[in-house]
């Protein structure tokens, strides 16, 4: 599986996976109550800046920070512009800003936490549901696969875009077809690998 995780010795790598997951959930809960006002927009912008600083303080480096923001560029532009039209500038800044902040936090989590650590924490959290028929290990595997698919699909988008540009093809809706084909092929390969291990 492809993952954003990179081994390191910074304080974010040393922080337990459970603590990081809890902070991510708490941040998502807190951001949902941020009002769509100009003052709140400044606060959300400050939060995004603080999270960006964690990339540097946590030893991930400026390159990882730049890659994270580069992946979010279309989200910021398209979502921000759409919200400006429909809900106004203050609400657009707040809604786009808190989504960006949460995505940056999620990337910090996946860059500093191995898949095995995430699976162990998720399985532990779901263990009380076992009497209800929930398989904690299977759910943890599905969630970890979902997390690892984010960078995989991002890589597919980049490759398709580069291939179309090399052929002089204009980018547009036609990009969705090769992207869908690559994604389905990858899903089939993952499914076959899981079935070979008796996890189908």
Q: How far apart are CA 59 and CA 9, in angstroms?
A: 8
- Asked which of 53-62, 89-98, 177-186 is least confident by mean pLDDT, the reply is 177-186
Percent of the chain residues topping a pLDDT of 70: 78
pTM above 0.95, yes or no: no
Q: What count of Cα atoms within 13 Å lies in the side-chain half-sphere of residue 12? A: 27
- Asked which of 23-27, 117-121, 191-195 is least confident by mean pLDDT, the reply is 191-195
**CA torsion 163→167→173→175, rounded to 10°?**
-20
Report, as an integer, the average pLDDT of 43-61.
88
Higher pLDDT, 144 or 54: 54
Higher pLDDT, 198 or 68: 68
Asked whether residue 99 carries a pLDDT value surpassing 70, the answer given is yes
**pLDDT the model gives residue 2:** 45
Higher pLDDT, 167 or 50: 50
Report, as an integer, the average pLDDT of 30-43.
80
């Amino acid at each position: 599986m492809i993952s954003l995780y990179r081994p390191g010795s910074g304080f974010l790598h040393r922080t337990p996976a459970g603590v990081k997951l809890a902070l991510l959930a708490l941040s998502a809960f807190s951001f949902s109550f941020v009002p769509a006002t100009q003052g709140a927009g400044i606060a959300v912008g400050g939060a995004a800046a603080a999270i960006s600083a964690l990339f540097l303080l946590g030893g991930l480096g400026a390159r990882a920070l730049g890659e994270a923001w580069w992946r979010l560029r279309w989200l910021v532009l398209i979502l921000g512009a759409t919200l400006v039209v429909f809900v106004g500038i203050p609400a657009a800044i707040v809604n786009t800003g808190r989504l960006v902040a949460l995505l940056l936090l999620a990337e910090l989590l996946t860059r500093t936490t191995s898949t095995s650590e995430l699976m162990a924490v998720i399985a532990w959290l779901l263990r009380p549901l076992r009497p209800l028929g929930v398989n904690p290990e299977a759910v943890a595997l599905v969630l970890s696969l979902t997390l690892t698919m984010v960078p995989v699909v991002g890589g597919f988008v980049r490759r398709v875009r580069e291939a179309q540009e090399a052929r002089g093809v204009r980018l547009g809706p036609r990009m969705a077809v090769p992207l869908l084909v690559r994604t389905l092929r990858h899903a089939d390969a993952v499914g076959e690998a899981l079935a070979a291990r008796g996890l189908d």
